[in-house]
Amino acid sequence: MRFAYLLVLALPLMAQTGVVPPMPPQSKWVTPAMTAAQSLAESTAKANPTDRLTAETSNYADTGSYEEALSFCKRLAARFPAQARVIEFGRTAENRPLVILALSKDGAFTPEAAKRTGKNIVLLQNGIHPGEVGGKDASLMLARDILVSKRFAKWLDQSIILILPVFNADGHENRSLYHRINQNGPRETGFRATAQRLNLNRDYMKADAPEMKAWLKMYNRWLPDFLVDNHVTDGQDAQYDVTIDVPVEGPVSPEASEWAKHYYVPFLNQEMKALGHIIGPYVPQMIFSPRYSQGYAALRNRQALLVETHSLKPYRVQVWSHYDIMRITLDAMGEFGKDLKQAVVNAEKNDGDGQQKAWPVDWKLGGEAYTHQFLGLKSDAIKSELSGGTYAVYQAEPLEIPIKWYPHWEPVSVDAPLRYVIPQAWNSVAETLRLHGVKVDVAAKDSTVEANGYRLMNPKWSAAPFEGRHMVEFSVEALSNKLRIAAGDFVVDMKQPNARVAHHLLEPAGVDSLVKWGTMNAIFERKEYFSAYVFEPIAAAMLQQNPEIKARFEAKLKAEPAFAQSPAQRLNWLYEQSPYAEKTRGLYPILRQ
C-alpha cells in the first residue's frame, strides 16, 4: 500500500521535471586526514568481507536498509551470546521493532544486572533524523571492532554499551534520492520525521510519538550515564567536520556540568584534534531545552553529547567523524566514567532531598558577549538572476569569522513545592509523568489542605501548529486557596530523584511544560454563554443591588469609548461580574502544596 503510494507520487514528478539526482554538493574544505579517514579504513581492513556494511562495500556511496542494521546486530549477538544481545524495546507507528544492541563483558543484559556491575552505561543513539545516518554505520562498525577484532574490547572493562542503530526506523525506510538536498551522501536517505510526521528530537518532554514513549521506558530502565546522539548538520560550508554540544549550562545539574567542563570536553577536543578532526561548538549558539536529546539527558541529571557532522563533507568523512568521536567518548568513559557516575548520584541525592529549591525552567543567552572565532571559509557573494538577491559561493580558503558568543544561559527559576496535586480527571498528565519515570501516588482518602496554584490569562496560540501541537503563551497570576484532595487524585511527592522533570513539566512557565505544549488547551476555553434577552433584566437588577459594580461600570464607560460603544462588550463585562460567570476558566488544574 505504502509502496504503491510512493510510485504514484514519485514517477510523475521525475517525468515532468526531468530532475535527476545531481552531483552532490561538496565542501571546499576536505583535509588529507579527512580523505584518509584512517580509523575507518583500519576497521574495514580488519573485518571479514561478510561482516562489512553496505556503506563500506559501496565505498560510502550508500547506506544499508534498516533490515541490514537489524540483521547485523542479530548476527553479532548470535556469534557472541556472552557479550552481546539484541533487545526489542518497543514498536514504531508502522510496527517496526525498535531495538538496542547491548554489549556487556559480564553478560549483564538487564538493567538490574547492569547496575550490579557498577560499570557506567553509555547509549549510542542514531537515526533520530534518519537522513543523518553516519552514526548508524559508525556505531555498527564499533560493535564489530569490540566483538570480532577485539580492537576495543577494553571498553567493556569499564562500560556497558547500548547501541540504538536507528531510533526513527519508519523514517529510515521512507527513503528517497531527493531527501537532504544539502547533503553529500549517502545517495539515498530516509526522511526526517516519523510516519506520523513528528520530529522525535522535539518530542522528549511531550512524548506524543509511540517511538518516544518506548524510548522513555527504555531510558528509565537503563538510565544511561551518558547519551551520544548522532546527527548531520547542514548550513554554511566550513572547515569543521564535526560540531558538538555538551550541556554545561541550562537544564544540566551543577555536578554533571562540572564533570563535562573539567574532564570530558577538554579531553574530547584534545583527542579529536590529535586525530586530525576539526571540531568546534555547534553554531549558531542556541538554547537546548529538554525537548532536545541532550537537554533531556541533562534534566535527568545525566550527560550527553550532541554530534553534528557536516553534510557537505563526503559520507565517508561523516562516518569517520562519528566513529572517532564515539571512540574518544568511550575512551573518556574509561578515564572519567567513575566521576560521572558519582556526579549523577550526587545530583540525584541533591534533587531528591525534599528541601524546597528554585529550579530553572526557561533560559535566555546572557552575560557579557565575547567573540568566538568560527573556522569558516572565504566566500564570494554572487548576484542571482533567479532571485534577484545574492548567494554565497565558498572558496577553498580558510577564514576565521568572528561571531558573537554568550558565556551564560540566564535562567528563569520557579520555586518547587513539596508536592503537586493533579485532579484525577487529568490522568493524562499523570500518565505522561509516569512515562518520564516520575513516581506518582494516588490519594487514598479525601482531605483538605492549604495549597497554591495559578490562573493563566490572555492565552495566545501559535498561528501554525508545531510538532502537531498549537503551543500557547499566557500571563500567570499566582493564587492560594484551600485545596480539597479527593480520594483518587494524583500526588507527586517531590522527595524523589526525578523531581526536576516533574517540576519542568508541571510548572506553567516551563519552556517545555505540558500546558505550554498545548496539551491542556481546554482550560482556556469558555464553555457557557448567555442570551441577551435573558441576561438584560438580571444585569439591571445586579447594578441596582450592587452600587460598587455600578460605579465601576460607569467609570469604565467614561474611560473607554470603544467599550461604551459596544453592546456586546458591555453585556459581557456585566456577565463577568455576575455569579453566572465561569470561575474555572484559565484556572490551572494542578496545585502546589
For Zn ion, the binding residues (CB under 5 A) are 129, 132, 231
CA distance 192 to 186: 15
* CB of 138 vs Zn ion, minimal distance in Å: 15
* CB of 215 vs Zn ion, minimal distance in Å: 16
* CB of 243 vs Zn ion, minimal distance in Å: 12
* Cβ-closest position to Zn ion: 231
Check residue 386 and report its DSSP letter.
Answer: T
Burial 176-207 (b: 16+ CB within 10 A, else e): eeebbeebbbbebbbbbbbbeebbbbbbbbbb
132 or 348: CB nearest Zn ion: 132
132 or 512: CB nearest Zn ion: 132
Burial 559-575 (b: 16+ CB within 10 A, else e): eeeeeeeeeeebeebbb
129 or 180: CB nearest Zn ion: 129
178 or 391: CB nearest Zn ion: 178
User: Grid coordinates standing for 219?
Assistant: 531510558
User: Grid coordinates standing for 388?
Assistant: 534577484
* CB of 284 vs Zn ion, minimal distance in Å: 15
Amino acid at 131: G
Listed residue (235, 313, 248, 306) closest to 277, CA to CA: 313
231 or 503: CB nearest Zn ion: 231
CA distance 362 to 289: 8
Q: What Rg, from alpha-carbon coordinates, does the chain have?
A: 28
* CB of 231 vs Zn ion, minimal distance in Å: 3
* CB of 388 vs Zn ion, minimal distance in Å: 32
139 or 257: CB nearest Zn ion: 139
Cα separation values, 212 from 167, 206, 252, 436, 455, Å: 9, 9, 21, 10, 31
CA distance 582 to 527: 8
β-partners of residue 228 are 124, 305
User: Grid coordinates standing for 7?
Assistant: 510510485
96 or 231: CB nearest Zn ion: 231
51 or 245: CB nearest Zn ion: 245
CA distance 177 to 188: 4
Residue 592 CA, chain-centre distance (Å), reads 27
CA distance 481 to 495: 23
* CB of 129 vs Zn ion, minimal distance in Å: 4
CA distance 354 to 400: 49
172 or 341: CB nearest Zn ion: 172
* CB of 288 vs Zn ion, minimal distance in Å: 12
CB 329 within 8 A of CB 228: yes
132 or 351: CB nearest Zn ion: 132
* CB of 131 vs Zn ion, minimal distance in Å: 8
- Alpha-helical (H) ranges within 466-566 are 499-506, 532-545, 547-559, 561-564
* CB of 229 vs Zn ion, minimal distance in Å: 8
